[in-house]
Amino acid sequence: MLKAQEVNRSAMAKMTDRADSIAVSIADPAEKRIVDKFSVRGAPMPLVLAVAPTGAPTRAFPKQFEEAQFQQAFVSPGTAKCMKAIMDRHLLLICVQNGKTQFNQEAMQGVEAFKADPQYAKVTEVVTLNPADKAERSFLKDLEVDPQTTTAVTLLVTPPGAPIATFEGAVTKEQIAAKLAAAQSGCCPGGKCGPGGCCPK
């Protein structure tokens, strides 16, 4: 425990411009709310939990950890927003576009129409990413989106966080809803399922 505290203290001293640190005792009844929020009561201790400004946990370092590992806890703004949406168990529409991509308006019209539908409004989050933003490059790679794309790309993501559909260019509310319904039923339109029953992109 002492070594872990020393590692944490040393790391935090070097990151005062980027992060704050607080100590929480899971045995303290006064800390029950935060312990329950992050579901860490049964986690191996000591534990360092990194939380983004959005409130989403980004990394967990249990028991033995090294100072260098803490750098892995920092994620891009877009990643943090998406992680928060997934933590809240919301549907997520990631809109990858900028001033150089085509069909931006046509893609956003479909996204906004879907988000405005009373059936989805309260459980859907929209996050816009600029493909030219170097800070988001690693995240775009994880999403399998080319940062050099010349066309707007829209991804539909459901908890626990895997994209279930990718749309290039214009997209309609009906197309998004159809992909969501297909994923929920485990079968694609026309009865053609992908490996493991998943709907292919």
Q: Are both 143 and 184 inside the same structural domain?
A: yes
SS3 137: helix
Q: What pLDDT is stored for residue 63 in this prediction?
A: 65
Q: How far apart are CA 102 and CA 152, in angstroms?
A: 6
Final residue before a domain boundary, out of 73, 89, 104: 73
Cα-flanking dihedrals φ and ψ of residue 197, to 5°? 85, 5
Nearest to 158 by CA among 92, 88, 101, 76: 92
Q: What pLDDT is stored for residue 109 in this prediction?
A: 97
Q: Are both 59 and 95 inside the same structural domain?
A: no
Q: What pLDDT is stored for residue 69 in this prediction?
A: 67
Q: Are both 67 and 84 inside the same structural domain?
A: no
Final residue before a domain boundary, out of 48, 73, 98: 73
Low-confidence ranges of the chain (pLDDT < 50): 1-2, 187-201
Q: Are both 145 and 112 inside the same structural domain?
A: yes
Structure tokens that stand for 78 in this block: 């877009």
What's the number of domains the chain is made of?
Answer: 2
Q: Are both 59 and 82 inside the same structural domain?
A: no
Q: What pLDDT is stored for residue 39 in this prediction?
A: 77
Q: Are both 30 and 92 inside the same structural domain?
A: no
Q: Are both 58 and 86 inside the same structural domain?
A: no
Q: Are both 69 and 133 inside the same structural domain?
A: no
Cα-flanking dihedrals φ and ψ of residue 156, to 5°? -105, 120
Nearest to 132 by CA among 169, 85, 100: 100
Cis peptide, bond prior to residue 118, ω within 30 of zero? no
| Residue 142 lies in domain | 77-197
Beta carbons of 198 and 185 less than 8 angstroms apart: no
Q: What pLDDT is stored for residue 135 in this prediction?
A: 92
Q: Are both 101 and 191 inside the same structural domain?
A: yes
Q: How far apart are CA 47 and CA 57, in angstroms?
A: 13
